Amino acid sequence: MSWSKDEIRAEVRRRRDLRDVADLQRAGIRISLTCDILLRNYLRGEMVMCYVSQRGEAPTHDIIRSCLVRGQRICVPWVNPETRMIAASELENFFVDLERGFAGILEPRDTCRRPVEPQGIDILLAPGLAFDSKGTRLGRGSGYYDRFLALFGPEKIKVGLAFSWQIFQEIPTEEHDIPMDLIVTEQGVIPVRSGLLEE
């Protein structure tokens, strides 16, 4: 069965509503642990960018705090609603630097913004409503991440985070879509680009 993007978005909402909160929490812990292993042992890079998760997304707060504790440089996105673009800001303190911003998402407060150019980011952990095994990512439809991903070079490592029920057999693609290199769910890692999981 082939799904349209709108049908997939509706189906993801339906699946999410069926999920038990405790199950989501357990799955989220497994996603965080897997990402921690990847970032420590497999994916090498000076600067990691990670979204700050909100309700219904694969959780990233523990991933971000773990990076900060071990001295891994990490930046997080903030949205400029006027330009409809994402910008990256290096994070130094999870609890001090962030406040509720665009659409209620935790973002760096004005006084804590430390700009990072897309070319300076080595690894991106990206959210999505749905993914497929070819790395295709489906967002909410606003295009923020699509425009940001377009600034990345092909050598940059792009990792999609999702619950297993957000994985579909196939997602419709458009010419501007940029695939993920890996997808992490609570059930493990879906490799898209070869060679990234070699120690």
Q: Model confidence over 2-25: pLDDT tens digits?
A: 899 999 999 999 999 999 999 999
Q: Model confidence over 35-53: pLDDT tens digits?
A: 999 999 999 899 999 999 9
What's the CA gap between 174 and 139, in Å, rounded?
A: 13
- pLDDT for residue 1: 64
More confident residue, 183 or 102: 183
Which runs of E-coded beta strand occur in 17-72? 47-50
Q: Residue 87 pLDDT > 90, yes or no?
A: yes
Lowest mean pLDDT among 16-25, 81-90, 117-126: 81-90
Average pLDDT over residues 177-195: 94
Domains of the chain with CATH codes: 5-189 (3.40.50.10420)
Give the confidence band of 103 by pLDDT, cuts at 50, 70, 90.
confident
What's the CA gap between 156 and 10, in Å, rounded?
A: 31
Whole-model pTM: value is 0.94
In 3D space, the residue among 117, 97, 118 whose CA is nearest the CA of residue 108 turns out to be: 97
Q: Residue 90 pLDDT > 80, yes or no?
A: yes
Q: Residue 199 pLDDT > 70, yes or no?
A: no
Distances 167 to 6, 132, 187 between C-alpha atoms, Å: 15, 5, 11
- pLDDT for residue 2: 83
- pLDDT for residue 197: 85
- pLDDT for residue 154: 86
